[in-house]
């Protein structure tokens, strides 16, 4: 099948972890995936994995805070149907040591860059287009990274507002809020994994594939009556409250 006949999907931060799993799932679902990432090596590996599985993909290396680069990304996306805003940053700071610069950088990457990409994509997405933003369960409250919590709460609020803005164009906008997911970043904290596992109602941690499945639900054409929603994927931990993990 020629590449131009396939709908395309942009996944930011797709060079590893959750973003890679989303790219793989959308490739399996019939999209030509545009793998956008700051890491050339990571993006190339994701494209290799997709190609190995028989899916169409190409890499775009960019900094999502560069509006000119993201506009070029959108302009180069033939037959664009889906935008998944997965790229973001995370670090821990106790409140006393947080600086205004910490807040600005977190907002610039996690919220402002996402807003810019959404605005650029919304101008070209057709009726039936899909935008999915990665939030975080931390958006509902967590200790030791107030700047991250604030940025992701902003993503959640923006997702709901944008859903109303784009409803008349029949473009849905939803969010997925992961809980504790087994990514490389989490594995770096190996000494605390068992404690995290024991805090989960089902006694297990999530995988990037769990998040990819949630994104795929929102992208599915049959989900056209679902918009402005934030789906928490955390194994049920938030049922008893969304306090810190």
Residues marked as catalytic: 148
Sign of CA dihedral 107, 33, 177, 142: negative
Enumerate the β-bridge partners of residue 60.
Answer: 36
Beta-carbon neighbour count of residue 207 at 10 Å? 14
- Residue 165, classified by CB atoms within 10 Å of its CB into exposed (0-12), middle (13-18) or buried (19+), is middle
Cα distance between the two ends of the chain:
46
Q: Any idea how long the chain is?
A: 245
The radius of gyration of the chain's CA atoms, rounded to the nearest angstrom, is 17
β-sheet with 32-37: strand ranges across: 57-61, 32-37, 8-12, 80-85, 130-134, 172-178, 230-233
Angle at 196 between CA 245 and CA 108, to 5 degrees: 45
Strands 32-37 and 80-85: unpaired
Structure tokens, 234: 């955390």
């Amino acid at each position: 099948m020629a590449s131009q006949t396939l709908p395309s999907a942009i996944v930011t931060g797709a060079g590893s972890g959750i973003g890679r799993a989303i790219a793989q799932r959308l490739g399996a679902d019939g999209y030509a995936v545009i793998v956008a990432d700051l890491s050339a090596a990571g993006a190339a590996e994701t494209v290799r994995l997709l190609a190995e599985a028989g899916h169409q993909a190409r890499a775009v290396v960019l900094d999502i805070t560069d509006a000119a680069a993201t506009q070029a990304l959108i302009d180069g996306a033939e037959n664009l149907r889906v935008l998944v805003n997965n790229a973001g940053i995370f670090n821990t700071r106790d409140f006393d040591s947080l600086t205004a610069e910490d807040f600005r950088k977190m907002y610039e990457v996690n919220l402002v860059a996402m807003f810019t990409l959404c605005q650029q994509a919304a101008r070209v997405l057709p009726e039936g287009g899909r935008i999915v933003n990665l939030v975080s369960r931390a958006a509902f409250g967590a200790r030791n990274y107030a700047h991250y919590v604030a940025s992701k709460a902003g993503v959640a609020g923006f997702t709901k507002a944008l859903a109303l803005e784009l409803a008349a164009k029949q473009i849905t906008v939803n969010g997925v809020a992961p809980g504790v997911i087994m990514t490389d970043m989490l594995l770096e904290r190996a000494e605390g994994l068992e404690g995290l596992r024991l805090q989960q109602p089902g006694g297990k941690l999530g995988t990037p594939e769990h998040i990819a499945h949630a994104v795929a639900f929102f992208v599915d054409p049959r989900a056209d009556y679902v918009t402005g929603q934030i789906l928490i994927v955390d194994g049920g931990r938030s049922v008893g409250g969304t306090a810190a993990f």
